């Protein structure tokens, strides 16, 4: 990683979304490890240490809800500190932040992703 203070896992089944997020992260000199499906992302999470997970909600096979749940179970089972999990979604959770947190997410970023808001959110972590 270029910046040792944060390690990022991006899980999204759409290549264009991964490209866009990766290009935003390059602007603040961060690298990202990518997975194109939930199952692969979960495997990468278990094999590595990530501070931040950017997680698409709607993916085939294993959606973001299931991935977040399994990440939280893995952290608890292995006595690991909680990673920050940010949902990347076209849906807004403004009206129900508690529901989002119950599902294992700390924050969310709405699609279409606005570069300035995205970078501000990342830099807060």
Q: Which residues pair with 110 in a beta bridge?
A: 89
- Average pLDDT of the chain, as a whole number: 88
pTM of the model: 0.89
* Residue 2 predicted with pLDDT over 60: no
The 10s digit of each residue's pLDDT in 32-84 is 899 999 999 999 999 998 999 999 999 989 999 999 999 999 999 999 999 99
Quote the pLDDT of residue 3.
45
Going by pLDDT thresholds of 50, 70 and 90, the confidence category of residue 5 is low
The domain limits of the chain are 8-114
3-state DSSP call for residue 18?
helix
Q: What is the Cα–Cα distance from 44 to 21, expressed in whole angstroms?
A: 18
Q: Are 108 and 93 in contact (CB under 8 A)?
A: yes
What's the token pair of residue 124? 């807060």
The 10s digit of each residue's pLDDT in 85-94 is 999 987 665 5
Concatenated DSSP letters of 77-101: HTTPPPPEEEEEESS--TT-HHHHH
Pick the CATH number of 8-114 from 3.30.2090.10, 3.40.50.2300, 3.40.50.300, 3.30.70.141: 3.40.50.2300
């Amino acid at each position: 990683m270029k910046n040792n203070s944060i390690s990022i896992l991006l899980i999204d089944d759409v290549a264009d979304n991964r490209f866009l997020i990766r290009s935003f992260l390059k602007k603040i000199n961060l690298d990202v490890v990518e997975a194109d499906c939930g199952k692969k992302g979960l495997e990468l999470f278990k094999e590595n240490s990530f501070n931040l997970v950017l997680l698409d909600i709607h993916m085939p096979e294993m959606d973001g809800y299931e991935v977040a749940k399994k990440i939280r179970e893995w952290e608890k089972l292995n006595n690991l500190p909680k990673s920050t999990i940010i949902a990347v979604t076209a849906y807004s959770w403004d009206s129900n932040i508690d529901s989002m947190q119950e599902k294992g997410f700390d924050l969310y970023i709405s699609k279409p992703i606005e570069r300035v808001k995205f970078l501000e959110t990342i830099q807060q972590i």
